[in-house]
A and B are shown apart, each in its own frame.
Chain A
Amino acid sequence: MQTSVIGRIALFGLPALVVLLAPTPSGSAEPSERIIRIEASSFAYKPALIAVAQGDHITIELVATDVVHGLHVDGYDLSVTADPGQTQRLTFVADRQGTFRIRCSVPCGPLHPFMIGKLKVGTNWLLWRAVALALLAAMAGVVGFRQ
């Protein structure tokens, strides 16, 4: 019984540890200057999905086309606010890999809490690690993690 438990831990725990602790490769491409124009209106950002490379110098130009909107980048904890018809800029270096939510930071109407976009910086290793761990968890379930 004890051997069996140790065997299961070795079978699933060790690969899980490898997935968790494996170093993530950093982006090899040269950082570039990126200027991204985002229109905010009717509880949505356009574009709603932004993909940049890790290390890129980003300037977000936020344009609010109906009411005052904000833009807060989760993970970076940076914010900018734009009045209707005006453009405001937010400049930063995208040095953290992953996918980060961008949210409106100014109450703009009923759907304000759900005004969300995504900033994808390089590869979302958290997601890929999660996918690998999910496969291991599913296998553990099928094979039997516990008796």
Chain B
Amino acid sequence: MTRRDLTHFRLIKTVLHRRGPQFALTALALGGFVLAIVSGLAGTPVGSRNFGIVAVWIAWWAVLMLVAVPLFGRGWCSICPIPAPGDWLQRGALLQPATRGLGLGRRWPRATRNMWLQNAAFAVLALFSVVILTQPIVTAVVLLALLFLAVGASLIFERRAFCRYLCPVGGFVGLYSQLAPVELRVKDRAVCAADRQKSCYTGNAAGCGCPWLVYPGALEKNTYCGLCLECLRTCPHDNIAVNWRSVGADLLQPRGRRLDEAFKALIMLGSAIVYAAVMLGPWGTLKSAAYNIGSGTWLIYALGFLAFVFVVLPGAFLFTVHAGRKLARSAVPLRRAFVHFAYALIPLGLAAWVAFTLSFVFANLSYVWPVLSDPMGWGWDLVGTAGDSWTPYLTQVVPALQTGVLLGGLLWSGVTVRRIALEGRSQHPVFPLTLPVMAFCLVITLGLLGLLVG
């Protein structure tokens, strides 16, 4: 597996070391974030004419799912505006390393040092997503709630507890960042082992200790590295690398696979299926049910959604894994096999979200131009684009792109299923073990193809 340390390039190293460029991008994102909240609260209630809806759920979502996550993993987290104010308060500084900041600095409760709260937070947002995505004021309230939650977490707990344990977006970004061709790792673990200060974790005059509560010397996966680059600044031995690497390298790392992350993979895959059916399907009744919060039909939809992503899909996957074990006469415990094989669903899950996003974004991207001129929907025409009419883009190409992405995801998942099965080849034959899991991936792909291009 080849890796190329991007910090060997002087320009890249300089840009990454300095706080200015990262701060500028975070400040820009924060400006957009605040404008999204203001326009949501005070602007037009027409979603397609409101900056909050268009900037967040079309522009930002497109950048996140089509560029940032596939190419840079947690690259977005490094400039995310949501934790920034709390982070600055906690550190008592904007650009400098930590001084005398605010906050109690408590440790996050041990029982929830995992992804389950993020799984629950995502599911809650997903339940209300049709309203959040279409009502500017609801989007504004959700963004405000996330901001208060992040600030509160920064003032009570140490470091970036919100990002690590609560953020509903950070959970799936972390999961899919395992596929990214970019990683932050140490160059030589022996150097870390010999170093007594562990400045990357404790901090020093050059920067903070890892805000994500990760010791870089032991980092093996992208999942919980927020690419904040503090360790790049604090390491006294210049032992931190930002590598360009093979895509999906983390999936082949058997250590550290966990049930909460396995469920995250299933929840995200299930949510992509439900979103494709509700938002991009032709069923008006389903859309109404998802929209009319509090009604009897919404309750049925909500229960159906939760049952599908938490019970039906994981149950079906558990059954296929069990069938594979039986066919292969494998002695690997069912829970262990379930957790390990669930990581093979990560490529297919990302492909499902990219395919969903392609359709949703290209159909609605032209709403961006009018809101640049008139973010509040008050009749302004700041840059002369207020009158631009809605035009769906690439409608002849998008179905083929979606098909290619889904097939690529299936192939990648298939290869990963086999690689994971090969990890225990001394204990079982590989072919029968993988057969049911591949059948599961195939059925999911065919279902998504039917929903998105059928």
Contact = CB atoms under 8 A, between A and B. Distances in A.
Q: Do A and B come from one complex?
A: yes
B359 to A, nearest CB: 8
A137 to B, nearest CB: 4
B109 to A, nearest CB: 38
A113 B418 contact: no
Contact of B445 (A72, A98, A99, A134): A134
Interface residues of B, number: 54
A140 B417 CA distance: 11
B434 A142 contact: yes
Interface stretch (A23-31, A58-66, A82-90, A122-130): A122-130
Contacts of A101: 280, 359, 363, 395
The number of chain A residues touching the other chain, given as a range, is 35 or more
Contacts of A42: 284, 288
A75 B291 CA distance: 28
- Say whether chain A's binding surface is mostly helix, strand, loop, or mixed: mixed
B297 interface: no
B48 interface: yes
B438 A127 contact: no
Contacts, number: 143
A142 B435 contact: yes
Interface string A4-16: 0000000000000
Given A72-B392, A110-B134, A141 B438 contact: yes
A124 B48 contact: no
A71 to B, nearest CB: 12
Interface string A92-123: 00000011110101010011111111100000
B407 interface: yes
Contact of A103 (B288, B392, B403, B407): B392
Contacts of B359: 101
Given A113-B360, A114-B130, A141-B410, 17 more contacts: A44-B285, A45-B282, A75-B395, A77-B392, A77-B396, A103-B392, A105-B390, A111-B130, A113-B47, A113-B363, A116-B282, A130-B403, A130-B406, A134-B410, A140-B415, A141-B411, A146-B415
8 contacts: A43-B287, A44-B288, A77-B396, A99-B399, A101-B395, A103-B363, A141-B417, A141-B434
Q: Shortest 7 CB-CB distances between A and B: which pairs? A: A141-B414, A44-B284, A48-B282, A74-B395, A110-B134, A138-B442, A137-B411
